[in-house]
């Protein structure tokens, strides 16, 4: 059900440990994310569709909705 989709996810940088809550786009994945702590450009881990699935505490909305990546 679409009302069960969570749009906030806290990303944790694997480089410096900085955490920041971000609002995810409902219909697309985020392939890049600049850490506000150290400036590292994060990209998804192999097998993940986006940075939220790799480093966030909540998977992206397309994965929450269908279990599949949006691409």
The pLDDT tens digits for 4-19 are 899 999 999 999 999 9
CA dist., res. 8 & res. 24, Å (int): 6
1: confidence class by pLDDT, cuts 50, 70, 90: very low
- Bridge-based pairing of strands 33-34 and 41-42 is antiparallel
Domain ranges of the chain: 2-64
Collapse the DSSP code of 10 into the 3-class scheme (helix H, G, I; strand E, B; otherwise coil) and give the result. Answer: strand
Mean pLDDT across the chain: 90
């Amino acid at each position: 059900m679409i009302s069960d989709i969570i749009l906030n996810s806290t990303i944790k940088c694997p480089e410096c440990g900085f955490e920041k809550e971000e609002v995810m786009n409902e219909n697309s994945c985020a392939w890049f994310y600049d850490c506000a702590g150290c400036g590292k450009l994060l990209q998804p881990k192999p097998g993940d569709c986006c940075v939220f699935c790799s480093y966030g505490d909540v998977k992206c909305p397309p994965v929450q909705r269908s279990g599949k990546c949006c691409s």
